[in-house]
Amino acid sequence: MTLKLAQRLDAVVPSVTLAMNARAADLRAKGVDVFAFGVGEPDFEPPAYVLEAAKKAIDKGVSKYTAVTGIAPLKQAICEAAARQKGFSPTPDMVTVTVGAKHALFNLAIALFEPGDEVVIPAPYWVSYPEQVRMMGATPVIVETTEASGWRMSAEDLDRATSARTKAVVLCTPSNPTGAAYTQSELEALLAVLRKKDCWLIVDEIYAELVYDGFQAVSCRKLAPDLAERMVVVDGVSKTYAMTGWRIGWSISPKPLAKALDVVQGQSTTNPTAVAQHAALAALTGPQEEVARMRSAFQARRDAMLAEVATVEGMRARKPEGAFYVFADVRGLYGLRWGGKTVQSDEDVAFFLLDEAGVAAVPGGPFGAPGYLRMSHATSEERIRGGFARIREAVARAR
């Protein structure tokens, strides 16, 4: 008997990040102090009032199933936060609370994408966007962008990439992995193109509250109320409130799609964890001073990391508008000697830095940008400086 896996998995690319994490874990087990620049989560704890709300929920016996798409107070709080932060006013029946924003995106892939469909995704992209499309038998259409363009897709690029088979466009602003964010005028130009197309727009705004230097993040949903019936906004508490492990995200979608998502989720996870929903409710309705404090710290850390990148011969990076990543061009490090071989790719650079400097970062190839590294500054300035001191020493030894 031959036991086979589903053919849909043949199209999914294994994550090099897992290999990096395994190698980093092995080094830590050997006592090596690894500088974690690869992790995509804040090093802060959630605000104290969030933790207190979770404790109170446990004490009150919050341990049963909830409605599939989330408790009513949380859905109402999400609507109020959208009005306050994003400038549009959804209703609770448009909200689907999910097990993280990734789950919201996966629900959408199941509900929308089929074999023969195309989904437009600008590169660099978060690694899960194209893989979720492929898992549904649809085809990701990748739009290349450049550092010179600020890692942003132009209206002309979008127009060329769409076709009669386009089912959706996926946009992330600010972006993982580049931190690039679209200005209002750039978004308006993209929306003008989409008005002429017959497709969905899925906007991932998970980093929208983490923007710097006075940059104004504007929601597409606010700019194009006329496209509301084919637009979805994805968000969550993971990044803004340092609640990655609580796994609470959501989508805000037109009511017919929200009903379909209820069906999808009802046959998969059912509701997100009850206690985590109460913690997310506290995050959205509590004081927001902690968010401002974390944002300020992330900006200072971004600036510290950019300054350190500039000290490494062979590395350079543009200043990102948001998120907590510096996307560094490392092609100048090609040619270094390491482990008896020559560094020839961004993946080689990543493993070189891990083995020789004890610094974990993520190669850009899986994000659609070979030659770059994603380096997270969601760690202290002291750790940033310490990690780059190690990098400089390793590079000097290898030249």
CATH code for position 346: 3.90.1150.10
The pLDDT of 149-163, averaged and rounded, is: 98
The pLDDT of 244-250, averaged and rounded, is: 98
The pLDDT of 189-217, averaged and rounded, is: 98
| Whether 364 contacts 317, CB under 8 Å | no
Residues 216 and 329 in one domain: no
Confidence of residue 307 (pLDDT cuts 50, 70, 90): very high
Task: Look at the chain and report how many structural domains it folds into.
Answer: 2
Residues 125 and 234 in one domain: yes
The pLDDT of 278-304, averaged and rounded, is: 97
Residues 99 and 206 in one domain: yes
The pLDDT of 222-234, averaged and rounded, is: 98
In a domain, 336, yes or no: yes
pLDDT reported for residue 3: 84
The pLDDT of 33-49, averaged and rounded, is: 93
| Whether 195 contacts 336, CB under 8 Å | no
Residues 241 and 382 in one domain: no
Q: Is the pLDDT of residue 15 over 80?
A: no
Residues 262 and 135 in one domain: yes
In a domain, 261, yes or no: yes
The contacts of residue 252 (CB under 8 Å, 6+ apart) are 78, 82, 90, 94, 95, 221, 232, 233, 234, 235
Residues 229 and 140 in one domain: yes
pLDDT reported for residue 210: 98
Domain membership of residue 225 as a residue range: 64-285
Q: Is the pLDDT of residue 263 over 90?
A: yes
Share of the chain above pLDDT 70, in %: 100
pTM: 0.96
Share of the chain above pLDDT 90, in %: 91
Tokens of 393: 């020493």
Residues 337 and 270 in one domain: no
Residues 11 and 136 in one domain: no
Residues 75 and 182 in one domain: yes
pLDDT reported for residue 383: 97
Among 285, 319, 352, give the residue marking a domain's end: 285
Residues 240 and 303 in one domain: no
Among 285, 306, 325, give the residue marking a domain's end: 285
pLDDT reported for residue 17: 72
Residue 13 or 313, more confident: 313
Residues 376 and 266 in one domain: no
Terminal CA-to-CA distance of the chain, rounded, Å? 54
CATH number at residue 265: 3.40.640.10
Residues 111 and 246 in one domain: yes
In a domain, 1, yes or no: no
In a domain, 211, yes or no: yes
